[in-house]
């Protein structure tokens, strides 16, 4: 390997690795900084937009009408990036409400605190905007990527659905589906998958997702499955065949590649592009260089942990931004930016004044790491216990209710498209019956172009 090559591959002369750019993709998140991923840089790289004060004020203005405040996840920059939120809000104000789509790959029983973040946000948006939610459980994805049987993945999707329901979704406005179940039962969903598959070449998929020669072909076509719920015709039982219901996807930023692809193909299929609201990663206990992960139990606080486990994990593993000795700490203060306990408080301590007080006291040295951890423990223990209580309440009947293909009461808001209008259109379409415009850029889609070019 030449020196240049070595540097490009992130290896220094002495063999140490130097990760110059944060690694962020659906399978890996790694930063070399203890402060975690540089999210401003990521917005530039991905070509998304920052959730700025103008957007926050706008959400505030709309949600205050129903007596709600902007969620602290948004105010505190934890949902920091978006694509086309303003279009969604414009349409909403014109009386054309959107629907929400989010998902989870059920790879283990053990869901952790980080997994809750998009669901807490989605539930808040459901309530604040009074809109339907679809939740995709990609048990098919996990079958392809992990060493699990179909039966196991399917079981896990139902177990995870209980945790999702425990977040408080409204059964009258929420449809949770397992891919392994739903795709075989809904022709319209399957047809949308096919439409997307026809629009994306292998070369493009490799550019976006980094697939290699030894990846099974299931993986290569999977992104079309994650794209399909972005289009309202994939849920005929909810949207009655309407093509024009806009979609907003709250998700962690690592899922963005799927939706860059989706947004790229949508106009060619005459669908609306889905809008996105991206969250930061939930840091691992050991520090913000990477995210919390079920495969490393010491990095995670699980939703099944006992109060004692919660306490011990925080005390033992939560990376501290405090100083080595009490004297030094009192003199120089701690560093909230790298302190994992403080970062977790940003997610889960709702009281702004208390949070600010803690930040001041910790940074000035008045508060010690042990005291900060105690504060966090006192918030997380009841949070986890309440989740367990709520989950217990999810009976098989309730699970069945959320997961069955059914008309939702809100479906009445979406009268089917006018058949006369569509027959007029059909005539026009016949001339141009290719569902997907010919791929026009295969050769020019380089890895960076496809993965990171701004899509509007």
Interacting residues toward ligand TRP by CB under 6 A: 102-105, 136, 138, 141, 226, 249, 251, 255
Whichever of 156 and 310 has its CB closer to ligand TRP, that residue is 156
Q: How far is the CB of 138 from ligand TRP (least distance, A)?
A: 5
| Contacts of 447 by beta carbon, 8 Å cutoff, 6+ apart | 206, 207, 210
Whichever of 134 and 367 has its CB closer to ligand TRP, that residue is 134
| Contacts of 201 by beta carbon, 8 Å cutoff, 6+ apart | 439, 442, 445
Whichever of 104 and 123 has its CB closer to ligand TRP, that residue is 104
Whichever of 249 and 284 has its CB closer to ligand TRP, that residue is 249
Q: Are 306 and 387 spatial neighbours (Cβ–Cβ below 8 Å)?
A: no
Which two three-digit tokens encode residue 242?
Answer: 């309407």
Whichever of 108 and 315 has its CB closer to ligand TRP, that residue is 108
Q: How far is the CB of 367 from ligand TRP (least distance, A)?
A: 36
Whichever of 261 and 355 has its CB closer to ligand TRP, that residue is 261
Q: How far is the CB of 445 from ligand TRP (least distance, A)?
A: 22
Q: Across the beta sheet with 247-252, what order do the strands follow? A: 49-50, 79-83, 275-279, 247-252, 99-104, 133-137, 174-178
Whichever of 117 and 128 has its CB closer to ligand TRP, that residue is 117
Nearest C-alpha neighbor of 102 from the set 73, 133, 62, 126: 133
Q: How far is the CB of 26 from ligand TRP (least distance, A)?
A: 6
User: Alpha-carbon dihedral of residues 178, 180, 181, 185, nearest 10 degrees?
Assistant: 120
| Contacts of 321 by beta carbon, 8 Å cutoff, 6+ apart | 334, 335, 336, 337, 338, 339, 342, 362, 369
Q: Report long-range pairs for 158-161 (Cβ below 8 Å, ≥24 apart).
A: 158/399, 158/403, 159/106, 159/109, 160/104, 160/106, 160/109, 160/111, 161/135, 161/137, 161/399, 161/402, 161/403
Whichever of 71 and 104 has its CB closer to ligand TRP, that residue is 104
Q: Are 99 and 134 spatial neighbours (Cβ–Cβ below 8 Å)?
A: yes
Q: How far is the CB of 105 from ligand TRP (least distance, A)?
A: 3
Q: How far is the CB of 249 from ligand TRP (least distance, A)?
A: 5
Q: How far is the CB of 188 from ligand TRP (least distance, A)?
A: 17
* Rounded CA Rg of the chain: 23
Compute the Cα dihedral for 134, 139, 142, 143 and give only its sign: negative
Measure the CA–CA gap between 397 and 400, rounded to whole angstroms: 5
DSSP assigned state of 440: -
Whichever of 253 and 376 has its CB closer to ligand TRP, that residue is 253
Q: How far is the CB of 234 from ligand TRP (least distance, A)?
A: 12
Buried b vs exposed e over 299-326: b needs ≥16 C-beta within 10 Å? bbbbbebeeeebbebbeebbbbbbbeee
Q: How far is the CB of 195 from ligand TRP (least distance, A)?
A: 17
Q: How far is the CB of 193 from ligand TRP (least distance, A)?
A: 13
Whichever of 246 and 322 has its CB closer to ligand TRP, that residue is 246
What residues are paired with 251 via a beta bridge?
278
């Amino acid at each position: 390997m030449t020196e240049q090559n070595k540097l490009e591959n992130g290896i220094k002369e002495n063999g140490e690795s130097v990760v110059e750019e944060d690694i962020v993709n659906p399978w890996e998140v790694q930063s070399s900084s203890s402060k975690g991923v540089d999210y401003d840089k990521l917005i530039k790289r991905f070509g998304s937009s920052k959730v700025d004060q103008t957007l926050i004020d706008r959400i505030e203005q709309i949600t205050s009408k129903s007596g709600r405040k902007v969620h602290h996840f948004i105010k505190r920059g934890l949902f920091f990036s978006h694509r086309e939120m303003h279009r969604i809000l414009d349409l909403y104000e014109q009386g054309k409400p959107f629907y929400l789509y989010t998902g989870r790959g059920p790879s283990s029983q053990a869901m952790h605190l980080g997994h809750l973040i998009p669901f807490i946000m989605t539930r808040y948006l459901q309530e604040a905007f009074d809109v339907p939610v679809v939740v995709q459980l990609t048990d098919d994805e996990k079958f392809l990527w992990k060493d699990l049987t179909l039966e196991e993945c399917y079981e896990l999707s139902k177990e995870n659905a209980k945790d999702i329901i425990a977040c408080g979704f409204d059964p009258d406005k929420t449809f949770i589906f397992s891919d392994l179940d739903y795709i075989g039962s809904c022709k319209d969903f399957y047809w949308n998958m096919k439409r997307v598959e026809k629009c994306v070449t292998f070369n493009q998929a490799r550019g976006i997702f980094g697939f290699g020669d030894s990846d099974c072909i299931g993986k290569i076509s999977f992104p079309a499955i994650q794209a399909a719920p972005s289009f309202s015709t994939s849920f005929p039982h909810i949207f009655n065949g309407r093509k024009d219901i806009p979609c907003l996807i709250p998700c962690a930023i690592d899922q963005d590649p799927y939706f860059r692809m989706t947004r790229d193909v949508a106009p060619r299929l005459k669908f609306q592009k889905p809008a996105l609201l991206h969250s930061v990663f939930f840091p691992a206990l050991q520090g913000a260089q990477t995210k919390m992960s079920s495969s490393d139990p010491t990095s995670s606080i699980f939703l099944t942990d006992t109060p004692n486990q919660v306490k011990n994990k925080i005390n033992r593993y939560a990376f501290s931004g405090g100083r080595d000795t009490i004297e030094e700490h009192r003199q120089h203060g701690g560093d909230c930016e790298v302190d994992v306990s403080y970062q977790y408080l940003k997610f889960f301590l709702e009281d702004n004044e208390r949070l600010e007080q803690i930040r001041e006291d910790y940074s000035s040295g008045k508060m010690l790491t042990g005291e900060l951890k105690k504060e966090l423990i006192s918030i997380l223990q009841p949070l986890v216990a309440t989740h367990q209580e709520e989950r217990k309440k999810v009976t098989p009947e309730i699970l069945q209710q959320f997961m069955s293909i059914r008309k939702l009461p809100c479906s009445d808001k979406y009268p089917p498209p006018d058949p006369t209008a569509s027959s007029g259109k059909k005539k026009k379409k016949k001339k141009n019956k290719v569902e997907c415009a010919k791929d026009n850029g295969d050769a020019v889609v380089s890895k960076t172009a496809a993965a990171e070019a701004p899509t509007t």
